[in-house]
Structure 1
Amino acid sequence: MLFQVRMDVQIPADLPADVANDIKAREKAYSQELQRSGKWRHIWRVVGEYANYSIFDVDSNEELHELLTGLPLFPYMRIAVTPLCRHPSSVREDDRQE
């Protein structure tokens, strides 16, 4: 199942810098692990914002929920999820038809 996920990060200004830096380092490691596994297929930064658009390829809604809530930055995020399916006019054969 493919999902487009927009993540807007809002770290509190009063969060100590060392705590914020630790969370960001754990976030990077976790997200890169998911990318290598193929679960997090794409990630794009939104220009001028602390936000991204990502594409996840997971087996279920529950799996996506677990992955997102496992993000170290999750407590500081606003997340919007859009389910996707392959468009019949797509020329990309590597996109799964759900």
Structure 2
Amino acid sequence: MGRPPTYAVLSGLPQLINLGFDGIGVAMIGRNHPIGIIVAAIFFGGLMAGGRVMQFSPGVPLELVRVVEGVIIVTLAVPELRNMLGSFRRQFAKKKVYDGS
């Protein structure tokens, strides 16, 4: 029988780097909808594959893909942040009115 194939686990671990960050981005772009997540995953996969191809061009680092992903995630997070801040302001304004009377 022999030893179990430990090489499969050890050789696959370096490929798991940044999967959590990509998963969060895919879920945000897809708005947690199954079809949206599939489309977002294809989009992120295209970004990563395109980034690897662009890396062969002179002066284009692979980190540029991460910057683009970060900009997309921040852009999607800003409207939700505005909604949260608006609700906090409304609650604070109501509380201030009740405290003053």
Richer in strand (by share): 1
TM range (shorter): 0.3 to 0.5
Normalized against structure 1, the TM-score is what?
A: 0.34
* Larger relative contact order (Cα-Cα within 8 Å, sequence gap ≥ 6): 1
Structure number with bigger Rg: 2
